[in-house]
């Protein structure tokens, strides 16, 4: 995976899970990906862009890619392991906050999402059997896909203020659903990172915070 990526930088900007997502707590700048050399070996590091341009403008030191990956794995495993103490109580308190409102809405949205998935399955079945013109299939399928995306967005947008932070109920539910599977991560998973993490804040070389899509910020030592 790391082969051949040492050349250039600009055109690979969005190729990595952390690209554009690591923020410096000192200056607010974005971290850039760099290849560092040490004792003849090479490793991937992330460094504050302002610090790279002018060390006197920001004193934040670089962090290693491998350490950030490790911190993500640890953070997710803590959520999996401690789901009874973190995510489930949070979700329960969100539920109590207004049972009638957002949870009723979420249930309704989920029902509509299930129906939407069923309809797409039926369409695909009809198409496979040759009962549908491809043009008609594409049109109807695209409409359903668009509706599915809108429903998902509505679900994720339902939010509440918890301890002054806006917490997205649908996203907490999704995170808990993942944690409930009880599967510990054994390696970094970029897709999972992209699914649940909005951005990373670097406090120091030894500490970062994962700002989750659900609104929680989870700190990890490195
Ligand atoms: Zn900085």
CA 47–ligand 1 middle distance (angstroms): 8
> What pLDDT, on a 0 to 100 scale, did the predictor assign at position 129?
94
pLDDT for residue 56 is more than 90: yes
Count Cβ atoms within 10 A of the Cβ of residue 168 and give its class: 0-12 exposed, 13-18 middle, 19 or more buried.
Answer: buried
Which pLDDT band, with edges at 50, 70 and 90, does 3 fall under?
Answer: very low
Query: Which residue in 171, 149, 147, 148 sits closest to 159, CA to CA?
Result: 171
CA 25–ligand 1 middle distance (angstroms): 7
Which pLDDT band, with edges at 50, 70 and 90, does 100 fall under?
Answer: low
Which pLDDT band, with edges at 50, 70 and 90, does 153 fall under?
Answer: confident
- What is the tens place of the pLDDT at every residue in 182-192? 999 999 999 99
Query: Which residue in 47, 6, 57 sits closest to 202, CA to CA?
Result: 47
- What is the tens place of the pLDDT at every residue in 192-206? 999 999 999 999 999
Task: Name the residue ranges covered by the structural domains of the chain.
Answer: 10-66+195-221, 87-180
Write out the DSSP string of 16-83. STTTTTEEETTT-PBEEEEEEEETTEEEEEEEEHHHHH-TTT--PPPEEHHHHHHHHHHHHHHHHHTT
pLDDT for residue 123 is more than 70: yes
> Token match 């995306």: residue?
149
pLDDT for residue 114 is more than 80: yes
Mean pLDDT of the region 18-23: 96
> Token match 């207004």: residue?
98
CA 72–ligand 1 middle distance (angstroms): 21
Do 26 and 49 touch, CB atoms closer than 8 A? no
CA 49–ligand 1 middle distance (angstroms): 7
Sign of CA dihedral 18, 20, 21, 27: positive
CA 110–ligand 1 middle distance (angstroms): 42
Q: Determine the Cα–Cα distance for residues 174 and 196; give it in Å rounded to an integer.
A: 9
Give Cα 151 to chain centroid, integer Å. 18
CA 68–ligand 1 middle distance (angstroms): 17
> What pLDDT, on a 0 to 100 scale, did the predictor assign at position 9?
45
CA 46–ligand 1 middle distance (angstroms): 11
CA 26–ligand 1 middle distance (angstroms): 5
CA 209–ligand 1 middle distance (angstroms): 15
CA 171–ligand 1 middle distance (angstroms): 29
Q: Which of the two residues, 102 and 43, has the higher pLDDT score?
A: 43
CA 90–ligand 1 middle distance (angstroms): 33
Question: Helix 87-97 vs helix 169-180: angle between axes, to the nearest 10 degrees?
Answer: 150
Reading the block at residue 61, the tokens are 């030191």
């Amino acid at each position: 995976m790391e082969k051949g990526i040492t050349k250039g930088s600009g055109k690979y900007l969005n190729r990595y899970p952390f690209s554009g997502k690591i923020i410096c707590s000192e200056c607010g700048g974005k971290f850039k990906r760099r290849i560092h050399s040490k004792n003849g070996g090479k490793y991937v590091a992330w460094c504050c862009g302002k610090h790279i341009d002018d060390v006197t403008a920001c004193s934040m030191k670089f962090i290693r890619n491998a350490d950030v990956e490790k911190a993500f794995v640890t953070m997710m495993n803590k959520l999996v392991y401690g789901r009874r103490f973190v995510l489930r109580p949070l979700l329960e308190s969100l539920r109590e906050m207004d049972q009638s409102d957002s949870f009723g809405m979420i249930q309704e949205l989920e029902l509509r999402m299930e129906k939407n998935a069923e309809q797409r399955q039926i369409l695909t079945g009809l198409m496979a059997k040759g009962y549908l013109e491809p043009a008609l299939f594409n049109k109807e399928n695209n409409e359903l896909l668009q509706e599915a995306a809108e429903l998902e967005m509505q679900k994720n947008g339902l939010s509440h203020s918890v301890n002054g932070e806006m917490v997205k109920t649908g996203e907490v539910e999704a995170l808990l659903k993942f944690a409930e599977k009880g599967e510990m991560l054994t390696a970094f998973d970029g897709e999972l990172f992209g699914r649940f993490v909005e951005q990373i804040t670097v406090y120091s070389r030894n500490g970062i915070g994962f700002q989750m899509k659900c609104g929680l910020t989870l700190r990890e030592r490195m």
